[in-house]
């Protein structure tokens, strides 16, 4: 998500950058702790606590949670979703945890009816399936949430991944997509919303998106196509609580969040029926290398598609569920663990593998509490609703609690799909990199005997491949982009073939994704140990030297992308000053960790240092937001997005 002229932030608006750097250095060097409670000697040794936590793992228990969660589809805003809410709430309360829900009124989108038929050059026609056969009771028909209703009778044309350079390639071959139904394959690092927007800009009348692959060729990938941000479109920037002001459906700010042309997901099988019948020029050579479908020509036509879609936007109630473990010494400092609960269908992978892990975290923390453990800081377990409609549940809660999060949130740890397949992936804000490496060294690798998760991960370059949280594809987005909270996101498996389809079931997980649920145990282990460190360590395990190194990498990338006449000297100087401040903070951490004496003065120094470490991330926020995208405030994530979009 970036402004149309991203370089303006560095060229015509230097003052926000300077302000950001000054704020950040003040956060690192300043002394502005709010209060300094006395702390006694920790009653639990953390390494012993880690052993206790890891020893209570149970793959069979996680499996049972997943089976219960996937007994029926639970799309946000529906009755089955309410049942799943009660299941999670009852689980928390049965463990003796303090639990509650928060309710929001938000705009969701559901299908009413749809149809698609292909009319071929020889005069024949066929009605094409638009959802999985025998998908089960309660499974919503395949659709794109927030797609407008519409009816189109027009030639089909193949546009590869639907990127702007794909449309340029078609234009260079003399292919005009204006007024056509564009068929696009998933991929190319573009989300479905961006694909629909590109098609609309290029004059298409409708868009059909399919996923390639030999596995589960009959699956339809549901998803939303809302654009311009995340959260409830009727309450942009504030929470949709009872009595809150809401915008109208015809408000200009609301309308620009939705596409103007209808769209629909297709299965690979249905897409092949259309694409194999196209005429016109041949598919460009540079598209063929990764092309698995039966397309040989791009069209337009001669096949005509008759496509209709009718949907409805409905104001619905959603609920987030929370369990709170109050801190014994710093109850006003929050470590948050979150996963979304809603699913397009059964959601065994997305998101119930993560929900099952969250439920197991709750069980294991409850067991530790029973043994006398109390975290130093407060731990909050968060179960979000309506993530699939654009991170709505988490965004509304962040907007509602922005002031508290700004001064009290230590970190947010996100797990969406805990397990999709093999290989471990993690993304974070850079000050948490070292903690990730430390914790993954303590968890057994689920796929190799006798080694840690880190050893197997690092062997594939994992230690150097911690991703950055610049996207808006899961519930970490409002915490990072809007509130400036240090965050981590992790999962097993790059992707999976039943994504958002009716085949995302418990049986698929048990047969293909994680048959013995060992990967679930590994993710739960990492998730829990991260939380224990952040909630219990006397000094927060943050390292801003890593952050300084990351900023230098961003600056180097940026310098290769922009006109050399543009001076990056102010940015270079700011990063150097930040690196110096980070080094000083790191030295102070080392000295305080060696401090053997305890007492009020030492406690005050630790509290002050922790507040500076915790609040430093806020220094990267621009209070006015990014140009044209005011809700997005994080300047470093923005810089990462600049380099990302320049590589399109």
Quick one: CATH architecture of 109-312?
A: 3-Layer(bba) Sandwich (3.50)
Look at residue 44 in the predicted model and tell me its pLDDT.
41
pLDDT at residue 643 tops 90 = no
Mean pLDDT calculated for residue range 524-553: 95
Q: How confident is the model at residue 356 (pLDDT cuts 50, 70, 90)?
A: very high
pLDDT at residue 647 tops 50 = no
pLDDT tens across 181-239, in order? 999 999 877 899 999 999 999 999 999 999 987 666 899 999 999 998 899 999 999 99
Q: How confident is the model at residue 596 (pLDDT cuts 50, 70, 90)?
A: low
pLDDT at residue 11 tops 50 = no
Q: Report the C-alpha gap between 157 and 138 in whole angstroms.
A: 33
Q: Report the C-alpha gap between 340 and 563 in whole angstroms.
A: 42
pLDDT at residue 294 tops 90 = no
User: In the chain, what percentage of residues exceed pLDDT 90?
Assistant: 77
Kindly write down the DSSP assignment for every residue of 587-607, as one continuous string: HHHHHHHT----SHHHHHHHH
pLDDT at residue 17 tops 60 = no
Look at residue 46 in the predicted model and tell me its pLDDT.
56
Topology (CATH level 3) of domain 46-107+315-536: Aminopeptidase (3.40.630)
Count of Cβ atoms closer than 10 Å to residue 577 Cβ: 16
User: In the chain, what percentage of residues exceed pLDDT 70?
Assistant: 90
* Orientation angle between helical segments 544-561 and 635-646, nearest 10 degrees: 40
pLDDT at residue 644 tops 60 = no
Q: Which residues of 326-451 form beta strands (DSSP E)?
A: 330-340, 377-384, 409-414, 424-428
Look at residue 384 in the predicted model and tell me its pLDDT.
98
pLDDT at residue 20 tops 90 = no
Question: CB-based contacts of 306: which residues, under 8 Å, 6+ apart?
Answer: 115, 116, 117, 118, 119, 152, 153
Query: Do the domains spanning 46-107+315-536 and 109-312 agree at the CATH topology level?
Result: no
pLDDT tens across 554-567, in order? 888 888 888 788 88
- Active site includes 387? yes
Pairing of strands 304-325, 150-158: antiparallel
Q: Which residues of 120-176 form beta strands (DSSP E)?
A: 125-127, 144-145, 150-158
Q: How confident is the model at residue 639 (pLDDT cuts 50, 70, 90)?
A: low
pLDDT at residue 630 tops 80 = yes
Look at residue 62 in the predicted model and tell me its pLDDT.
98
Average pLDDT, the chain: 89
Look up the pTM and report it. 0.91
Domain residue extents for the chain = 46-107+315-536, 109-312, 545-620
Kindly write down the DSSP assignment for every residue of 262-287, as one continuous string: -EEEE-HHHHHHHHTT--BSBPPHHH
Pairing of strands 206-210, 98-119: unpaired
Rounding to the nearest 10 degrees, give the CA dihedral for residues 600, 606, 607, 609.
150
Instruction: Please provide the size of the chain in residues.
Output: 648
Q: How confident is the model at residue 6 (pLDDT cuts 50, 70, 90)?
A: very low
Task: Tell me if 326 sits within 8 A of 378, measured CB to CB.
Answer: yes
* Orientation angle between helical segments 353-370 and 46-55, nearest 10 degrees: 120
Question: CB-based contacts of 99: which residues, under 8 Å, 6+ apart?
Answer: 89, 92, 93, 321, 322, 323, 324
Q: How confident is the model at residue 464 (pLDDT cuts 50, 70, 90)?
A: low
pLDDT at residue 415 tops 60 = yes
pLDDT at residue 597 tops 50 = yes
Q: How many CA atoms lie within 13 A of 302 on its CB side?
A: 6
Q: Which of 50, 197, 221, 387 is catalytic?
A: 387
Sign of CA dihedral 406, 621, 339, 246: positive
Mean pLDDT calculated for residue range 527-551: 95
pLDDT tens across 32-43, in order? 332 333 333 333
Look at residue 638 in the predicted model and tell me its pLDDT.
57
Q: Is the peptide bond before 112 cis (omega within 30 degrees of 0)?
A: no
pLDDT tens across 111-154, in order? 999 999 999 999 999 999 999 987 888 999 999 999 999 999 99
pLDDT tens across 70-106, in order? 999 999 999 999 999 999 999 999 999 999 999 999 9
Strand-pair partners of 377: 330
Strand-pair partners of 322: 100, 382
Q: Report the C-alpha gap between 631 and 334 in whole angstroms.
A: 23
* DSSP conformational letter for 387: G
Look at residue 486 in the predicted model and tell me its pLDDT.
97
């Amino acid at each position: 998500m970036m402004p149309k002229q991203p370089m303006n932030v560095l060229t015509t608006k230097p003052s926000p950058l300077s302000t950001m750097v000054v704020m950040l250095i003040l956060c690192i060097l300043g002394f502005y702790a709010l209060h300094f409670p006395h702390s006694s000697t920790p009653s639990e040794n953390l390494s012993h606590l880690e052993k206790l936590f890891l020893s209570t793992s149970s793959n069979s228990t996680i499996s049972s949670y997943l089976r219960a969660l996937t007994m029926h589809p639970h799309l946000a805003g529906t009755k089955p979703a309410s049942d799943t809410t009660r299941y999670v709430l009852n689980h928390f309360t049965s463990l003796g945890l303090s639990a509650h829900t928060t309710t929001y009124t938000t705009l969701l989108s559901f299908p009413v009816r749809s149809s698609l038929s292909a009319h071929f050059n020889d005069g024949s026609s066929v009605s094409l399936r638009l959802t999985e056969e025998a998908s089960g009771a309660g499974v919503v028909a395949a659709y794109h949430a927030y797609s407008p209703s519409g009816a189109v009778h027009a030639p089909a044309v193949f546009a590869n991944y639907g990127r702007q350079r794909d449309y340029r390639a078609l234009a260079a071959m003399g292919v005009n997509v204006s007024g056509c139904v564009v068929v696009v394959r998933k991929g190319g690092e573009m989300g479905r919303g961006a694909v629909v927007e590109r098609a609309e800009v290029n004059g298409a009348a409708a868009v059909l998106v399919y996923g390639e692959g030999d596995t589960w060729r009959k699956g339809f990938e549901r998803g939303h196509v809302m654009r311009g941000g995340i959260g409830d479109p009727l309450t942009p920037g504030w929470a949709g609580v009872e009595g809150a002001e809401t915008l109208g459906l015809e408000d200009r700010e609301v309308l620009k969040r939705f596409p103007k042309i209808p769209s629909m997901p297709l299965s690979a099988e249905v897409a092949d029926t259309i694409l194999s019948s196209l005429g016109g020029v041949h598919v460009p050579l540079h598209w063929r290398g990764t092309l698995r479908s039966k397309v040989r020509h791009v069209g337009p036509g001669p096949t005509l598609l008759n496509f209709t879609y009718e949907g409805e936007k409905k104001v619905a109630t959603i609920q987030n569920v929370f369990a709170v473990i109050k801190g014994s010494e710093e109850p006003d400092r929050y470590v948050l663990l979150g996963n979304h609960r809603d699913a397009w269908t059964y959601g065994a992978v997305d998101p119930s593998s993560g929900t099952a892990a969250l439920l197991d975290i709750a069980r294991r923390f409850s067991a530790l509490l029973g043994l006398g453990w109390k975290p130093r800081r407060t731990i909050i377990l968060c179960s979000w609703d309506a993530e699939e409609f654009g991170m709505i549940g988490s965004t509304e809660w962040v907007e509602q609690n922005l002031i508290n999060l700004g001064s009290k949130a230590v970190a947010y740890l996100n797990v969406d799909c805990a397990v999709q397949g093999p290989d471990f992936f993690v993304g974070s804000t850079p000050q948490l990199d070292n903690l990730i490496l430390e914790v993954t060294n303590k968890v057994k690798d689920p796929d190799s005997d006798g080694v840690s998760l880190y050893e197997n991960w690092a062997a594939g370059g994992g230690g150097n491949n911690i991703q950055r949280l610049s996207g808006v594809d899961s519930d970490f987005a409002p915490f990072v982009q809007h509130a400036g909270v240090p965050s981590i996101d992790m999962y097993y498996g790059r992707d999976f073939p039943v994504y958002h389809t009716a085949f995302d079931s418990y049986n698929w997980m048990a047969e293909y994704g994680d048959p013995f649920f060992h990967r679930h145990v590994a993710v739960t282990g990492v998730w829990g140990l991260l939380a224990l460190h952040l909630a219990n360590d006397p000094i927060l395990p943050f390292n801003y030297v890593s952050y300084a190194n990351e900023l230098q990498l961003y600056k180097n990338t940026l310098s290769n992308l922009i006109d050399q006449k543009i001076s990056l000297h102010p940015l270079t100087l700011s990063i150097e000053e930040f690196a110096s401040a980070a080094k000083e903070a790191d030295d102070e951490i080392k000295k305080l960790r060696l401090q053997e004496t305890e007492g009020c003065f030492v406690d005050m120094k630790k509290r002050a240092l922790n507040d500076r470490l915790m609040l430093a991330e806020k220094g990267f926020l621009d209070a006015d937001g990014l140009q044209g995208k005011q809700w997005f405030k994080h300047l470093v994530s923005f810089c990462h997005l600049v380099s990302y979009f320049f590589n399109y």
